Chains A and B, each alone.
Chain A
Amino acid sequence: MSIDGESLRQLVAEARQGDRAAADRLVREHASWVRSAIYAVTGRADLVEDVAQQVWTRAWEQLGTLEDPRRLRAWLYTIARNTAIDASIARRRQRELAATLDGQAVCDRRGRGPFGAAAGDELHETLLRAVQALPAIYREPFVLRHLEGWNYAEIGETLGLPVESVETRLVRARRLLREMLQGKVEP
């Protein structure tokens, strides 16, 4: 939160009136964590850039509906989550349709494309698949914690959760990951 409440309110008001500089600043301030949020929801790095474009387009279209600019992050997160879910569903349908047209069995290749190419080692890919396999409610706080370094209060504010729930979800995420990766990572 590098912009204080009053500045944020002013920035949002200026962006609503079509001030490009204000809009640019808002994007610069929030672009990084919006990407992390998209990754947290989808678990796929290859979708992030496309979905981020859609998120900002929707955000500008709906900026008038933001009642309290101090809740900008939670508001943006809702847009990012909905857009990311839509994109994931659309991608899955595309794959299913392509598999049907090819007469092949539908197979889930999540994580093999960009991760496979970028990872280079088996362990790295195994770790990422474990994160992808987490239920979204545990993956979202876990990814935001590790990619953005947010504390429980920040994660809770963004996800609309009490701090206790964030803590519980992180504990459960770690428990599940430990079970999935048993014996694969040596202390």
Chain B
Amino acid sequence: MNPELEKLEHLISRALDGECTSDERKLLKSRLRNDPQARALFDELRTLDEALGDALRRATRRTWHIISFRSRWGRVGQGLIVTAAACLAAMAWLHPTPPKAGPARPTRSIPAQASLTPSWFAPSPPPADEVTPIPSAYERPQLRVRGTQRNWIVIPGDRPGTFMVIEVDRVRTHVIDVHRDF
């Protein structure tokens, strides 16, 4: 590279960066006045420098600003969501919604659940088991045999919510304290 041109580049670069001494500034001024090529190079480098500096500032500041803006509004948004959730919970607690009267189902509902008002945040209850009457294979005895106790054996079916229930009347056992007699 032409050493004269390299020297000029250094001088211009120092001037653009504000690093020139007063002597260097004078030298550059006179060079720019007398040398059109030096003037053209200076103008080109200065324009480039300004455009590049502006582009860098715009790119970085804008991106970082967007990120910080997002994080700031993210925090505000989280606060609003928590507040809204708290308000909804308070409303649900103060004004419980009565259960809707739906169409009569041919099902048996569980009495304990029916008496409770479900919370807004509780998961929806599973549908009640549908029970269809099965023609009984035998007649259930109306009278229990004296000295028996009723037990149930529950066997889960292959589908959720289906069970086979076996009702057993067993002879009640008694404990006799035999030692008392001796």
Contacts and interface: CB of A to CB of B under 8 A. Distances in A.
Interface of A: 35-36, 39, 45-46, 48-49, 114-115, 118-119, 123-124, 127-128, 130-131, 142-143, 145-147, 151-152, 167, 170-171, 174-175, 177-178, 181, 185-187
B52 interface: yes
Contact of B52 (A35, A131, A152, A187): A131
Given A36-B60, A48-B63, A124 B48 contact: no
Contacts of B169: none
A171 B10 CA distance: 6
A131 B56 contact: yes
**Ordered nearest first, which 9 A-B pairs have the shortest CB separation?**
A127-B55, A45-B63, A146-B53, A187-B47, A187-B43, A171-B13, A118-B62, A185-B51, A49-B67
A146 B51 contact: no
B64 A174 contact: no
B19 interface: yes
B59 A174 contact: no
A127 to B, nearest CB: 4
B45 interface: yes
A170 B45 CA distance: 12
Contact of A128 (B6, B43, B48, B59): B59
Contact of A170 (B17, B43, B48, B53): B17
B158 interface: no
B43 A46 contact: no
Given A143-B56, A185-B51, A187-B46, 10 more contacts: A39-B56, A45-B59, A48-B64, A118-B63, A124-B55, A151-B18, A151-B19, A171-B10, A177-B52, A178-B44
Interface majority SS (helix, strand, loop, mixed), chain B: helix
A134 to B, nearest CB: 10
B55 A128 contact: yes
Contacts of B59: 45, 114-115, 118-119, 124, 128
A178 B5 CA distance: 14
B27 interface: no
Contacts of A123: 51
B56 to A, nearest CB: 5
A49 to B, nearest CB: 5
Given A115-B59, A146-B57, A181 B14 contact: no
B58 interface: yes
A177 B48 CA distance: 8
Interface residues of B, number: 30
Contacts of B60: 35-36, 39, 45, 48, 147
A16 B10 CA distance: 43
A181 B48 CA distance: 8
Contacts of A46: 63
A175 B45 CA distance: 9
Nearest to B18: A151
B113 to A, nearest CB: 49
Nearest to A181: B48
Contacts of B9: 171, 174-175
B49 interface: yes
A35 B62 CA distance: 13
